[in-house]
Amino acid sequence: MYRVIRIPPEKGEEIREKAVARRFLDTTRKIRKLQTAGGSFIEIPVTEVAGEKVESFLVTEQKNPEFLGKNWSLKEYLKDFLSEAELACVPSGWQVLGEIIIVSIPEALEGKKMRIAEALLLKYPKCKTVVRDFGIEGQFRQPKRELLLGSETETIHKEHGCFFKQDVTKVMYSKGNLEERKRMSRLGEGEIIVDMFAGIGYFSIPMAVHSRPKKITGIEINPESFAYLKENIRLNNIQDIFVPICGDCSKVVPEGTADRVLMGYVGTTHHYLEPAIKALKKKCGILHYHETVPESLARTRPQERIRKAACTLGKKVEILETRRIKKYSPGVLHVVVDARIFE
């Protein structure tokens, strides 16, 4: 039996919000507007959790229910509640981490942000929280976010066989870096690795789980990220090979030990090239250097910066590959350069 409450239009918003908050809204069926001989009504589909009555409205059997398609877009969920102009501004993408949805909502939809958050929870019924993203800021690249719906901002995100515990209001996690995280998971077997900007383990945990290096040293300066790094080392059961260090990588990086150095940070990464090269073994080592760079300079500036730092230390460079990770902003790319550094 498909259950429904039939209510007058003026009560529709109030009851719908209660159905969402109390989690008895049936998200597999469509909310319908009906015109009958007795007047206009709204039918809100509900689950058994609703009981026999919601407020003063009886729960009855629904005839000919309309089911939502599994691949409905966010605009389709919102089309009965937003104007055409507002629908044109609805975000086309968002990020799902564990049970949390992270979405950027334009200022033009400020007054409809809660409606959008509710629609996202309808689209992803397994999620419990929606936060609004305003970008990242500061040396620690901390996210600026607003909690819209739900109360829990800490979650465990599973990706490529790895677990990443995090608080989405305190640490960042870029969906655009997915392919690079997968690539790192195929490198480093039997090697000694130094991750200079470990964060919560974005790149080095996939490497530790899948490639099983001899040893990974992960350095992170942000205390909150470092706490999650330690927790994620435990969650992924890699305590035997992963050594976390809290501190400034330019000061605490071990010198002359690494077969491979990860520099998965952007913004001022080039300032740390000399400490990174010093961390490599004297005869030879591999550097994975990340940089945000104007598209026209993507094949020159990052490579020149590596060569300059290596030359200062009396080293030679072989550029192995330059890879585009994602578009960082209009006209700016996030790239990673793989370079062999040798005597």
Of residues 142, 119, 106, the one with CA closest to residue 25: 119
Contact (Cβ atoms closer than 8 angstroms) between residue 34 and residue 25: no
Identity at 30, one-letter amino acid code: K
Contact (Cβ atoms closer than 8 angstroms) between residue 145 and residue 131: yes
Instruction: Tell me how far apart the alpha carbons of residues 287 and 225 are, in angstroms, rounded to a whole number.
Output: 23
Q: How, if at all, do strands 162-167 and 316-329 pair?
A: unpaired
| DSSP-assigned states of every residue in 275-311 | HHHHHB-SSEEEEEEEEEEEGGGTTTHHHHHHHHHHH
H or E element: which one contains 146?
strand 142-149
Q: pTM of whole model > 0.85?
A: no
Q: What is the pLDDT of residue 168?
A: 95
Q: What is the pLDDT of residue 172?
A: 87
- Residue ranges of the domains in the chain? 3-61, 74-152, 172-342
Q: What are the pLDDT digits (tens) for 113-131? A: 999 998 998 888 889 999 9
The three-state secondary structure class of 105 is: coil
Q: What is the mean pLDDT of each run of 10 residues along the chain (343 residues)?
A: 81 78 78 78 81 78 72 82 91 92 95 92 88 82 89 93 95 87 96 97 96 97 96 98 97 97 93 97 97 96 98 97 93 97 96
Q: For domain 74-152, give its CATH number from 3.30.450.20, 3.30.300.110, 3.40.50.880, 3.40.50.360.
A: 3.30.300.110
Q: What are the pLDDT digits (tens) for 263-317? A: 999 989 999 999 999 999 999 999 999 999 999 999 999 999 999 999 999 999 9
Q: For domain 172-342, give its CATH number from 3.30.110.60, 3.40.50.150, 3.40.1350.10, 1.10.3720.10.
A: 3.40.50.150
Q: What is the pLDDT of residue 57?
A: 81
